[in-house]
């Protein structure tokens, strides 16, 4: 299939508007060709990954050199994924001077393109929630899944280069989840057990993703779906199964319009299935040395729940407790004494980064407790790291006194 390009798009591809725009267009068109896209479509905004020096390495600077040949700027509002460190408290996180210098260079370059240094995987929590039907070019897996599922926006999971190319051109190829008929569920999941905590939602998502990689689910009998429940479910689905869209009966915006009559399979998620995931991530045979919360980034409500559950207790000796969130959320909790209360009990709140993309976690800790299967999934891939999945309530009982 030959993709139709407008005259302006042909000029962008040919190099009339500069090499950086031409290279960006070339990437978008190649992706479109692979997926038989008939045309390019405009996007409302973009979210760019490929920020942490831990994940991008030295190769990112060659890419930046190519873009630097033109004075190019992004055409649509664009936000950055987390970096590899708290941009202010990186020394406290035991980040090396060399790593920090390179991380600052990366963020500064993106800023020079006109990208907002939000440094969060959850831009929707800080005022950048998409609207129903918006076409986006988002790249962080959990953000993609929640944008599609909870908000009814439309985005494929872009790679870091393709999301940046879309930000620069304001365009993406019209394929995949941008097309209505591709958004129908493939598997119907009857949830037969109570989802009582965020970690239960995370267990559901992880179980499904492992079983049905890439297939869109329709969840029946989910009793509630707050933004915080939705985001941890989205993250789990994406981590274990690259699932970029889910529907929940009467709770997600497209759940009443999608075709559930022609699903390929109907299955149940039971109490036994839920326990199976907790058992899978019950790897710690000795005392934990870190609790890591905020994958995806913690919301105000997440942090308030931790504070309320903590009550008057203190952390046990030898255990650190780190919460990861955006700088904007940290500013909010600092104004109502939440931050002071947590820090006085030995709990640290870091911004701009998370346990998955920062070297400070896997290099300094061996036994980590979390309430997120996404965090547990990626942390346990390091041969030296063991993890344990628990609800916030259970975590507090285990690590405080």
Q: What is the pLDDT of residue 135?
A: 98
Q: Is the pLDDT of residue 5 over 80?
A: yes
Q: What is the pLDDT of residue 169?
A: 97
Mean of pLDDT values over 52-65? 91
List CB contacts of 372: < 8 A, sequence separation 6 or more. 198, 199, 202, 232, 235, 236, 293, 295, 296, 389
Q: What is the pLDDT of residue 154?
A: 98
Q: Which of these, 378, 382, 320, lies nearest to 354 by C-alpha position?
A: 378
Q: Which of these, 365, 360, 361, 255, lies nearest to 319 by C-alpha position?
A: 365
Cα–Cα distance measured from residue 359 to residue 386, given in angstroms and rounded to the nearest whole number: 16
Q: Is the pLDDT of residue 1 over 80?
A: no
pLDDT band per the 50, 70, 90 thresholds, residue 353: very high
Mean of pLDDT values over 377-383? 89
The 3-class secondary structure across 182-228, one letter per residue, is HHCCCEEEEECCCCCCHHHHHHHHHHHHHHCCCCCEEEECCCCCCHH
Q: What is the pLDDT of residue 141?
A: 96
Query: Would you kindly state where each structural domain of the chain is located, as residue ranges?
Result: 7-180, 184-279, 281-399
Question: Helices 327-335 and 300-310, interaxial angle, to 10°?
Answer: 50
Cα–Cα distance measured from residue 173 to residue 22, given in angstroms and rounded to the nearest whole number: 15
In tens, the pLDDT along 228-272 reads 999 999 999 999 999 999 999 999 999 999 999 999 999 999 999
| Assigned fold of 281-399 | Aconitase; domain 3 (3.30.499)
Domain at 7-180: CATH architecture: 2-Layer Sandwich (3.30)
pLDDT band per the 50, 70, 90 thresholds, residue 70: confident
Tokens of 353: 């980064």
In tens, the pLDDT along 274-305 reads 999 999 999 997 789 999 999 999 999 999 99
Same fold, 7-180 and 281-399: yes
Strands 171-173 and 187-191, sheet pairing: unpaired
Assess contact for 396 and 313: CB atoms under 8 A.
Answer: yes
pTM: 0.96
pLDDT band per the 50, 70, 90 thresholds, residue 389: very high
Question: Across all residues in the chain, what is the average pLDDT?
Answer: 95
């Amino acid at each position: 299939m030959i993709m139709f390009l407008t005259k302006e798009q042909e000029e962008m591809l040919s190099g009339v508007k500069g090499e950086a725009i031409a290279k960006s267009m070339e990437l978008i068109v190649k992706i479109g060709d692979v997926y038989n896209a008939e045309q390019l479509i405009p996007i409302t905004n973009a979210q760019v990954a490929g920020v942490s020096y831990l994940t991008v390495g030295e190769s990112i600077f060659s890419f930046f050199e190519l873009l630097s040949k033109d004075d190019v700027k992004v055409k649509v509002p664009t936000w950055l994924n987390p970096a590899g460190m708290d941009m202010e408290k990186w020394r406290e996180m035991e980040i090396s001077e060399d790593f920090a210098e390179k991380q600052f260079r990366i963020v500064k370059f993106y800023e020079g393109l006109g990208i907002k240094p939000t440094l969060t995987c959850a831009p929707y929590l800080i005022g950048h929630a998409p609207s129903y039907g918006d076409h986006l070019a988002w790249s962080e897996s959990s953000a993609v899944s929640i944008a599609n599922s909870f908000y009814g926006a439309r985005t494929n999971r872009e790679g870091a280069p393709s999301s940046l190319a879309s930000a620069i051109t304001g365009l993406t190829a019209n394929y995949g989840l941008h097309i209505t008929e591709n958004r129908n569920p493939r598997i119907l999941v009857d949830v037969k057990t109570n989802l009582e905590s965020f970690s239960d939602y995370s267990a559901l998502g992880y179980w499904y993703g492992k079983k049905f990689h890439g297939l869109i689910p329709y969840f029946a009998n989910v009793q509630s779906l707050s933004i915080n429940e939705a985001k941890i479910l989205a993250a789990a689905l994406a981590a274990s199964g690259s699932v970029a869209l889910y529907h929940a009966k009467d709770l997600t915006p497209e759940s009443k319009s999608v075709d559930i009559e022609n699903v390929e399979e109907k299955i149940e998620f039971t109490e036994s299935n839920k326990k199976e995931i907790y058992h899978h991530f019950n790897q710690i045979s000795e005392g934990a040395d870190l609790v890591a919360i905020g994958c995806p980034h913690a919301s105000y409500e997440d942090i308030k729940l931790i504070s309320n559950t903590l009550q008057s207790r203190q952390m046990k000796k030898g255990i650190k407790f780190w919460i990861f969130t955006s700088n904007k959320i940290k500013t909010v909790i600092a104004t109502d004494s939440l931050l002071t209360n947590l820090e006085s009990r030995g709990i640290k709140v870091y911004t701009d980064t998370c346990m998955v993309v920062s070297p400070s976690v896997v290099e300094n800790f061996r036994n980590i407790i979390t309430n997120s299967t996404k965090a547990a999934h990626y942390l346990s891939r390091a041969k030296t790291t063991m993890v344990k999945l628990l609800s916030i309530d259970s975590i507090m009982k285990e690590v405080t006194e």
